């Protein structure tokens, strides 16, 4: 195996990767997450009757804020100037929400962690807003779907399906 962990130095210590010699390129990342819940919880969200307010609007804003603050949450992430953050939430009847976060920048380092953080925090916000009626919700399949830009090039995988879990 020729691959190395970039956040570990020759002594095995964690460190921030030096990106000073890298070129600035356009970078993009898309991540997804699913929140599985009772059908009644999804109906509550869709009806707009959740006690804490508009679940999707709040989760969208939380995801955007999380992407912008990723370097404060993940110790070895570089602070980067994001040019775009989009968080989409799709109801997947009967029992889940699909969260998709897309992040862009023109930087020396990628935005995979920002996209993953946005999807994760949006999902956590859905849980927080609905936990009073459904503590059994699960956040599942949080993963990177696409990464482009930089030396390592393009990574892509197919998005998860908006289908109920069998």
Q: Tell me the catalytic residues.
A: 128
Q: How far is it, in rounded angstroms, from Cα 148 to Cα 144? A: 11
Q: Which of 147, 78, 83 is nearest to 116 (CA)?
A: 147
Count the alpha carbons within 13 Å of 139 in the hemisphere toward its beta carbon. 18
Radius of gyration of the chain (CA): 17
């Amino acid at each position: 195996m020729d691959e190395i962990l970039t956040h570990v130095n020759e002594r095995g210590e964690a460190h921030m990767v030096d990106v000073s010699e890298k070129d600035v390129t356009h970078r993009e990342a898309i991540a997804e997450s699913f929140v599985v819940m009772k059908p009644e919880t999804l109906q509550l969200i869709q009806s707009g009757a959740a006690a804490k307010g508009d679940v999707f609007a709040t989760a969208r804003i939380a995801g955007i804020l999380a992407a912008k603050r990723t370097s404060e949450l993940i110790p070895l992430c570089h602070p980067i100037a994001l040019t775009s953050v989009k968080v989409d939430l799709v109801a997947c009847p009967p029992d889940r929400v699909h969260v998709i976060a897309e992040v862009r920048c023109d930087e020396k380092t990628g935005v995979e962690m920002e996209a993953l953080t946005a999807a994760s925090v949006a999902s956590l916000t859905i849980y927080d807003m609905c936990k009073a009626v459904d503590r059994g919700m699960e956040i599942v399949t949080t993963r990177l779907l696409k990464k482009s830009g930089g030396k390592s090039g393009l990574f892509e995988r197919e998005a998860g399906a908006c289908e109920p879990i069998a």
